Amino acid sequence: MKRLLSGNQAVARGAWEAGCNVAAAYPGTPSTEILENINRYPEIYTEWAVNEKVALEVVAGACFTGARALTAMKHVGVNVAADPMFTMAYSGVTGGLVIVTADDPGMWSSQDEQDNRHYGRHAKIPVLEPSDSNEAKLFTILAFDISEKFDTPVLLRLTTRICHSVTIVEFGKRKEHKIKGYVKDIKKRLVLPAHARIRHRIVEKRLIRLSRYSDIFPYNKIEWGKKSLGIITSGISYQYAKEIFPDASFLKLSFTYPVPIKLIRKFARQVKRLVVIEEGDPILENEIKVLGIKVTGKDKIPLCGELTPKVIRDSLKRPYKRTKKPLRAPARPPVLCPGCPHRGVFYVINKLKLTATGDIGCYTLGALPPLNAMDTCICMGASVTNAHGMEKALGAEFSQKTVAVLGDSTFYHSGITGLVNAVYNKGNLNLFILDNHTTAMTGHQPHPGTGRLAKGEAGKRVPPEDIVKGAGVEFVKIINPDSLKEVEEAIKQALAFDGVTVLIFRKPCALLTKPKPPFRIDPELCNGCRLCLRLGCPAISLTFPKEKKRPLAVIDQGLCVGCGLCVQMCPRKAIVLSKEKENGK
C-alpha cells in the first residue's frame, strides 16, 4: 500500500514498522508532528517530556532494557539534549536508539539555523539524511538496525522541507521487537572516568567500522549522467539539484557521517568538474577537500538561509527561461491571536515602561508593535536567568523595573532551575508565568501543568504555584489577565517586594475556549482617539467613513472573541456588545 505522507508522518510510520517500543519528545517546529503521529500507534508508549534532555534520557533508559526507542526534537533542542547524547555515544545502546533532529534552514520558526550534522562528527555518531518522505520512513527503520548493529545512537537529520512536504510512501508491516530485559553491565553504562577511557577506544574503533559501512551503504549511490559535471549532495538539496541539473552525474549521499571515502574518490575521478550542493554549512565539502579533491561549494552556494532551486540556479548561473511571473504569497506578519490572555500583561509592561526579559513561545510576539514589551529572548528558560544576571550586575534597584516573562510549558522545560538559582542566590527576581494551560505555539501539546498525558488520559497535575512555593518563593499570586486593573496592581506590588516574586497570569489559550459574544464600536460615541489600538488586537482596525472628519475604530465581528480588554481601554465607553447578541439573535 502507498500513501502520501509528510516527512514527519513518515518517520512515525518508520518507527512503528521498525518495532519501536518507546518514544519521547518536547514539541518544537518543525519536529512536533513526529511524536504526535507516533502517538497514534497504540503499540508504542509515548510521552511529552518537559524538555529534550529529559526526553533523550527517558528513551536512553528504555534502550538499556533492550527496547527500541526514539526521540525527536528541533535543531536547538539537540543543544539541550547534547549532554546525554555525547555520553550515550560512549555507553552505547542495547535496543536501537534513534535521535531525530529537525533543522530549520531559513529560521522560519527558530532563533538560529545551526546545521546539526556537526553533532554527528562532534559526538562521533552516524548521521542519516533522507531526501523525501519515503526515505524518511525507510531510514528510520535502517537507523534502528544500524544502532543495534554498531551499538551506537544514530542521528536522523531532517530539515523543514523534508518534515513538512508530502511525497508517496510505501507501507510495510510492523516487525515486532521483543524487549530482552535489563542486564547489568556497569563497564558499559556506568560512565565514570575509568570506564570512559576504555569506552573511548571502543568509540574510535566503531567509527572506523562505520566509515567502511558508509562505503557500502546502499543509499549512498552514484547516478551517472554526463560526466562533464558531477554533483555531490544530500537531503532536500538532492531534489533541488536534480531539478536544475537533470543531465549531470550525481553522488547522492544518505549516510553522511562518516562519509564514504572510497565512493567519493571513485566518483571524483570520473567527472570533469565537481560541485557540492548542500544546505547549511560546508560539511560534505570540507570532508571532500580533506581528501585532496578540488570542489566547488560554498564559494558559489549561499551559506545562509534555505536553499531553493532558484537559489541554486542563480548561484551556479544556470541559464533559465522564465515563462510566467512566479506567484508570491502575501506577507503575513506574526501576531498574538485575538483574545490572547497574554496581551493585557504585555500592555501593562509597556505602560509601566519595564525592562522585560523574554523567552521562547508565542508570547515572544509581545515584542512587536504596538506592545513593544520584550527586551531579550535567547533560548528556553533564559528569561529567568537573564533577569537575575542583570539584577546582579546593576543592583537591586534595577529589579524594581525589570520582569522575566515565560509561558507555563517553558517554565517546566527550563524555567524551574533558573528560579531555584535566583532564590538560592538572594535574587530580586520578578517572574511572570503566562499560564495558558498548554504548549500553544507548537499546537497545544499537554505538559505537567495540564494534568493530561500524551494519549489524552488523565495524569497527575503538577501546578506551577506548588513548584514555586516549594522552591522557597514567598510572594506568589495568581492573577486574572482579563482585568487590566488587577494586572497592573499585582505587578506594582511585585516590583515593590524585596526578594523573588512570582505572578501567575492564568487563563486558557484563546484557541482552546469557546468565544464569548463579540463587541462592536458605537460610531456615535467613538471619537477616533485610537487608544484601543494600543492593545494590538488584530480584530480592531480603523475605518474612514465619508461623513466623519476623523477615522473611527471598527471591530471585526468574525475575529472578536469577546475578551473585553478593549472595553477597559475606551474612555468614552464606545465599545459595546453587538446588537445581534444583545437582542439574543
Annotated binding site for [4Fe-4S] cluster: 526, 529, 532, 537, 560, 563, 566, 570
Q: What is the helix (H) or strand (E) element at residue 253, kind and residue range?
A: strand 248-253
**Structure-derived torsion over alpha carbons of residues 234, 236, 239, 240, reported in degrees to the nearest 10:** -100
Q: What is the helix (H) or strand (E) element at residue 357, kind and residue range?
A: strand 355-357
Neighbours of 204 (CB within 10 A): 10
Give dist(CA 40, CA 17) in Å, integer.
13
Cell of 482: 482579563
Please check whether residue 447 is in contact with residue 464, taking contact to mean a CB–CB distance below 8 angstroms. no
Q: How many whole angstroms from its chain centre is CA 391? A: 29
**Structure-derived torsion over alpha carbons of residues 403, 409, 413, 417, reported in degrees to the nearest 10:** 40
Cell of 212: 567502511
Residue 97's SS3 state is: strand
Q: What is the helix (H) or strand (E) element at residue 447, kind and residue range?
A: none
Give dist(CA 90, CA 433) in Å, integer.
38
Q: Which residues contact 549 (CB under 8 A, 6 or more apart)?
A: none
Backbone angles phi, psi at 196, to 5 degrees: -65, -35
Burial class (CB in 10 A: 0-12, 13-18, 19+), 498: exposed
Please check whether residue 261 is in contact with residue 220, taking contact to mean a CB–CB distance below 8 angstroms. no
**Binding-site residues from annotation:** 526, 529, 532, 537, 560, 563, 566, 570
The string of DSSP codes covering 215-245 is HH-TTSEEE--EEEEEEEEEHHHHHHHHHH-
Give strand pairing partners of 335. none
Backbone angles phi, psi at 144, to 5 degrees: -65, -45
Cell of 527: 471619537
